[in-house]
Structure 1
Amino acid sequence: MSEAEAEVQGEFIERLEDDGHHQRLVVLAPHGGAIESHTDRQAEQVYASLGSHDSTLWACKGWRPAGNAYRAWHISSGDLSVHSFPLLGSLGARRFRWAVSFHGYRGPDVLIGGRAPALLKSDVRNAVARALHGSGVRVRIADPGERYSGESASNLVNRLTVDAAGGIQIEQSRHPRKLYGDAVAAAVSEVCKSWIAADARR
């Protein structure tokens, strides 16, 4: 089913772009379409910027003609199972160096979480903060134990990485997703490129 058909019919689709081999970066958007709007476009932008040699894209998109796609299709990141998503299942045995996942939430800030090292989260925070300079949107690293911190090892963004220690979760309210989504994605792309380049020099 095409994306256009799924939107008209109020359906849910899964997409994967992957060369089947590399283990560098996986970019995730589990709640795309109208579930958490614009997050799938951000993930696609990062993947397009980095290319298939250095990145993999996994996204799901859901719609409902009368609205409430979130209620119909949202599955928490800790509950996403490789047994329920065939394309995700093809990644289940692989462990990536890093994973970045785009999300939407109702908090006021752009929140950077996950189990990646503090330095990597700081890189993302600083890059996104520069991209949003002057917008009035605050960008911060999630506090330990904070809701939406993405720190659980069962969270998909962590689960797909080596030792569940390379995940970056980006939570955004509707305002920055709608008005600055491209700028956020571009900032994340540049950070990921720098990580991959530095890793290649080691």
Structure 2
Amino acid sequence: MTHNTTHVLARDADGSSLLHDTKNSITISQSIASELEIVEGQQVALAKPNASPQRVATGRYIAAYHVAAITDSDDERVELGPNGRQYISDEGDFEAELRDQVPDNTLTLPEARRRNEFTETLHIDDYTSDILVMAYHGGDIEANTTESADWFHKKCKEYGIPTDVYTARGYGKENFGRWHVGSSSMHLRSFPKLREVAARHYDLAVSFHLHDVPNNDESPKVLVGGRAGSDLRNRVAGRLDDALPSKYDYITDLSQHSMMGASHENIVNWMTRDGASGLQIEVTPRISQIHRKTVGREVALAVLAYLGGESP
């Protein structure tokens, strides 16, 4: 699916607006919503085409935003908070381009990297796969997570188990706030390749993530969450504990941390047949940088053992 764009006037929200202190939400006029068939709750990309070369070089001219509301206005206007606006512009009022989805899937990965853009990829092993592996905060958002997903897929393929792979990558400096869309907020209208597989009803979905939660002088944490059964979560944690060389604290109890992927709205859960068979892996940036291959392979081996009833 190709995307649609329109030119708009972007303005800072009034100081009394709920948007004023937000970073990732905008309102759009009814005329824009009608033209691009945008609905409340979806995500869009907003860019400043005439941004300075310095901003373009770092990617700070384009970002993803959540459409918090559609106003009654019939002009071509977008409003956003100053904090969110600073992702793409230093000016309070500016001409912008609005895209009706987050990715530009006309770009190759090298092109997306060069332009500090966002794009999706989808690999279908075959149309009988019961497992979906995802890394939708890839690129410079949560670095090396797509590599872990790829290694998961390779290990499953080695054992003859077909696995579909969905990735999304955002590039550029100061990238997390610009491109990160929360796991429980991703709208299918905003991610067309994700929409392609949303109706597949997988038996299991696995997603790879980074977290950078302060350790408070405790051991770094590895979170093995999602609504998949505790037997699977514990098996994954045990396998990673055996494989990773340093000592980490492994959390598998969904009640013990806020980033456990326990919500039914979390994409890793609602992509599954029963809405409760998602497995979310959260590791530290250092683990992902040094051990991304190990993480992907060991999670795959734990999943294969769980599904087959024995260790591969």
Question: What's the TM-score, normalizing by structure 1?
Answer: 0.90
For 2:236, the equivalent position in structure 1 comes to: 124
Report the counterpart of residue 281 of structure 2 in structure 1. Answer: 170
Q: CA RMSD in A?
A: 1.8
Structure 1 match to 2:263:
152
* Separation (CA, whole Å) in 2 of partners of 1:62 and 1:169: 20
Point out the more displaced range, 135-144 or 94-103: 135-144
Aligned position for 1:60: 168
Can you give the 5+ residue segments of structure 1 that lack an aligned partner in the other structure?
A: none
Q: Which amino acid aligns with 1:146?
A: H
| 1:61-80 paired onto structure 2 within 5 Å | 61-64=169-172, 67-80=173-186
Q: Tell me how far apart the structure 1 counterparts of residues 253 and 185 of structure 2 sit (CA, whole Å).
A: 21
Shift of 1:143: 3.7
On the 8 A contact 1:23/1:94 being kept in 2, the answer is no
- Give the drift of 1:162: 2.0
| Paired residues of 1:23 and 1:95 also in contact (CA < 8 A) | no
Residues of 2 paired with 1:109 and 1:188: CA distance? 16
Deviations 1:42-64 (A, max 9, x none): 00111122238521100000101
Identity %: 29
Do structure 1's residue 105 and structure 2's residue 217 form an aligned pair? no
CA change 1:118–1:53 in 2 (3 A) is closer
Shift of 1:22: 2.0
1:29 touches 1:101 (CA, 8 Å); kept in 2? Answer: yes
Are the counterparts in 1 of residues 125 and 162 from structure 2 also a CA contact under 8 Å? no
- Helix, strand or coil at the partner of 2:197: coil
> For this pair of structures, how many residues does the alignment match?
196
2:223 aligned counterpart, secondary structure = strand
Unpaired segments of 5 or more residues in structure 2? Answer: 1-106, 214-219
Residues 184 and 53 of structure 1: is their aligned pair in 2 closer, same or farther, counting only changes over 3 Å?
closer
How many Å separate the matches in 2 of 1:182 and 1:149? 22
Q: Which has more radius of gyration?
A: 2
Task: Point out the structure with the larger strand share.
Answer: 2
- Give the 3 Å change call, closer, same or farther, for CA 119–53 of structure 1 in structure 2: closer
Structure 1 runs (4+) greater than 6 angstroms displaced:
none
Instruction: State the one-letter code of the partner of 2:286.
Output: H
The answer as to whether partners of 1:24 and 1:196 remain within 8 angstroms in 2 is no
Please give the residue correspondences for 1:1-202 in structure 2 after superposition, counting only pairs within 5 Å: 1-19=107-125, 21-51=127-157, 54-64=162-172, 67-107=173-213, 108-132=220-244, 134-144=245-255, 146-198=257-309
Shift of 1:93: 1.3
The DSSP-based 3-state class of the residue aligned with 1:40 is helix
AA partner of residue 226 (structure 2) = G
Q: Deviations over 1:12-50 (max 9, x none)?
A: 010101146224210010100000000011001111222
More helix by share: 1
Alignment partners' CA distance in 2, 1:143 and 1:160: 19
Amino acid across the alignment from 1:97: D
